[in-house]
A and B are shown apart, each in its own frame.
Chain A
Amino acid sequence: GAVVSQHPSRVICKSGTSVKIECRSLDFQATTMFWYRQFPKQSLMLMATSNEGSKATYEQGVEKDKFLINHASLTLSTLTVTSAHPEDSSFYICSARDQTGNTEAFFGQGTRLTVV
């Protein structure tokens, strides 16, 4: 299957700083990628849909100025958590769909963000 690489896998940052998470489709082109947040022992919550070359579509309740998404190429989307606070600590996961026709989505390894 297609491979989605997410980096970093773990990051610890201080309150008030910004953190960038990268999501790359390694062997396919993805015009659309998705960013999820997962709280402990809970399901995935869709944060936003990242569209190559255009603005991301954010789900209700997600602050677009806090969670900046850039999808500058067909293989890379980034999520930047700005002015991070401890409550932003979570597991963030990206996914992408192979545009050649596969109907399942492929997921990155996830990023464990801890804000101290």
Chain B
Amino acid sequence: AQSVAQPEDQVKVAEGNPLTVKCTYSVSGNPYLFWYVQYPNRGLQFLLKYITGDNLVKGSYGFEAEFNKSQTSFHLKKPSALVSDSALYFCAVRDLRSGAGSYQLTFGKGTKLSVIP
């Protein structure tokens, strides 16, 4: 079974400082990894993904993530945090269960990011 762990319920960082939101995963085969952001009472917005290739993935709003196969991690990073980055962040891994047209994601529990002005 696939699983995703986000070890931190909450991350606080000062505006302008770098931020990291941690994610580790467990899958039986090659992982497809994703980061999504959720603002209050809204759906999820796609930030970035890792499928194959370069381990450093760049995404929306200046975010990036580094795939580390040996540590089974996919931490989300941003060099300089903005107050507007404050939101709930979810790491997800693609569920490789079979099924015509299926595409099921397994989510971590989420990490609340608070950027302090």
CB within 8 Å of B: which residues of A? 1, 4, 6, 9, 31-32, 34, 41-44, 46, 49, 51, 57, 91, 93, 95, 97, 99, 103-110, 112
Contact = CB atoms under 8 A, between A and B. Distances in A.
26 contacts: A1-B46, A31-B101, A32-B101, A32-B103, A41-B110, A43-B90, A44-B90, A46-B105, A49-B102, A49-B104, A91-B41, A93-B43, A93-B44, A95-B44, A99-B101, A103-B49, A103-B94, A104-B46, A104-B49, A105-B34, A105-B46, A105-B103, A105-B105, A106-B46, A110-B41, A112-B41
Interface string B104-115: 110111100000
Interface in B23-64: 32, 34, 36, 41-46, 49, 51
Contacts of A104: 34, 46, 49
B117 interface: no
Nearest to A44: B107
A57 B45 CA distance: 25
Contacts of B32: 103
A46 B99 CA distance: 16
Residue of B32, B102, B108 contacting most chain A CB atoms (<10 Å): B102
B44 to A, nearest CB: 4
B108 A43 contact: yes
Nearest to A5: B43
A46 B103 CA distance: 12
A64 B99 CA distance: 19
**Which 6 residue pairs across A and B have the least CB separation, nearest first?**
A107-B43, A107-B44, A32-B101, A43-B109, A110-B43, A97-B103
A44 B107 CA distance: 7
Given A1-B46, A43-B108, 8 more contacts: A9-B41, A43-B109, A43-B110, A51-B101, A91-B41, A103-B32, A108-B43, A109-B43
